[in-house]
Amino acid sequence: MTPPPALVLHFADEAALATRLAAALGGAAACIDVHAFPDGETRLRLPPALPRRAVLLRGLQQPNAKLAPLLLAAAGARELGCERLELVTPYLAYMRQDMAFTPGEVVSQRHLGRLLAGAFDSVITVDPHLHRVATMDEIVPGRRGVALTAATLLGHHVAHTVPGALLLAPDEEAGQWVRSAAQAAGLDHAVCLKQRRGDHDVSVALQGAPVQGRAVVLLDDVASTGRTLVSAAQVALAAGASSVDVAVTHALFVGDALAAVRAAGVRHVWSSDAVPHESNAVSIVPLLAAALRQSGWRTDFRC
């Protein structure tokens, strides 16, 4: 018996990515109907007949507004007959807080992971901000966790667009992605040293990075306030870089962040479509589709 088509459940604001993912899997996308009540509560309506296995696509940028509907949608899918439910969350929030830095702090990574593990059979994400945790399996205990990376996609895009560019990590945390991208695309790379004194107070040092006369591309997993990228771009240009571009997996660009990055002298901004944004230049759909196939999507899926 031929397995039925894959079903990708999604919310309206991610319809484009869901449609492309469903097409890559040879299946269909179905939008979750959302009604917001005046008091802030939400009513959800899913397709009334669900297969035994489905994907729920939901990026968790602006997580506080999205988590309750996500968990309700997962519970509703179970009631409607979905026995195996996989979460594809291109951006996974609350990963930075992986330990209590001061007494009483809530370790959000641990608790969000447990919530997702209780709702989904697997969690697939892209470039999660993991440092003291080695794998996504540790984030979602007892479930399958998959961490994909868009770094190589961005590296190839940079190599094609700016041949011979120097990939520069704006801080040590970004070094892992820059090294992967540089190795895949055959580019030189270097890592900056960052000092953060607050959410909007950041300074970056080049640590002898050879930027003089080079086309520099700052590569990072996420652009949020943009202040790290601003500082790194200013320092690189002051040190003689011929140009500075930016490539990021997750283009959050909160508030005036994108304008500030451009005002710092950045020429181009490229991002993956993990987060919908005007700077999207490379697609993560092939990564997501391959990960779902590796989980046995087409071999154990049955109505």
Averaged pLDDT, groups of 10, the chain, 303 residues long: 71 97 96 96 94 96 96 97 96 87 89 96 93 84 95 97 96 91 95 69 76 96 94 95 98 96 98 97 97 68 34
| Number of Cβ within a 10 Å radius of residue 199 | 10
pLDDT at 135 (0 to 100):
85
Q: What residues contact 172, with CB distance under 8 A and at least 6 apart?
A: 191, 192, 193, 194
pLDDT at 126 (0 to 100):
97
pLDDT at 302 (0 to 100):
35
Residue 4, token pair as written in the block: 């039925």
pLDDT at 295 (0 to 100):
74
**Virtual CA dihedral for 71, 77, 83, 85, nearest 10 degrees?**
-50
Is pTM beyond 0.85? Reply is yes
Residue 229, token pair as written in the block: 């990228």
pLDDT at 197 (0 to 100):
57
Using an 8 Å Cβ cutoff, are 28 and 55 in contact?
A: no
pLDDT at 299 (0 to 100):
38
282, containing H or E segment: strand 280-282
pLDDT at 173 (0 to 100):
86
Residue 260, token pair as written in the block: 């500030």
pLDDT at 101 (0 to 100):
83
Q: Give 3-state DSSP helix, strand, coil % of the chain, rounded to 5.
A: 35, 25, 40
One-letter amino acid at 291 equals A
Residue 42: strand pairing partners: 36
Q: Quick one: CA dihedral 231, 232, 235, 241, positive or negative?
A: negative
1 DSSP assignment: -
